[in-house]
């Protein structure tokens, strides 16, 4: 039996039109530098800046459509003070 709704009632709904696999990163990891979206990844003991293209943002995550590959270690703490080539130390 269908539920009926009275005038003025509201509903919160999510519609899924398409599902696809994607790379994601915390949205706070993406910075704007020189008008481009960038992230920093750990490349050995150095930070490496990568220009990325982004898409959807949801629940604190952002879809990365280009500029990263699976397995890249995105720096998301202290990333605002590093530069391309900055020495980094990975904490355990």
pLDDT confidence of 2, banded at 50, 70, 90? low
pLDDT at 1 > cutoff 60: no
Q: Examine the pLDDT at 3 and tell me if it is beyond 70.
A: no
* Alpha-carbon span 83 to 63, nearest angstrom: 23
With cut-offs at 50, 70 and 90, classify the pLDDT of residue 22: confident
Residues 6+ apart with CB under 8 A from 39: 25, 29, 30, 31, 49, 50, 52, 64, 67, 68, 74, 75, 79
Tokens read off for 10: 């509201």
| pLDDT tens, position by position, 36-66 | 999 999 999 999 999 999 998 888 999 999 9
Q: Report which listed range, 25-29, 58-62, 86-90, is most confident.
A: 25-29
Element (H, E) at 21: none
């Amino acid at each position: 039996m269908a539920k009926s709704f009275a005038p003025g009632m509201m509903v919160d709904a999510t519609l899924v039109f398409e599902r696809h696999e994607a790379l994601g990163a915390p949205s706070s990891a993406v910075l704007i530098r020189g008008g481009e979206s960038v992230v920093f990844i750990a490349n050995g003991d150095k930070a490496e800046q990568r220009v990325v293209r982004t898409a959807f943002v949801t629940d604190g995550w952002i879809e990365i459509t280009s500029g990263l590959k699976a397995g890249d270690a995105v720096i998301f703490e202290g990333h605002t003070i590093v530069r391309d080539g900055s020495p980094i130390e990975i904490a355990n």
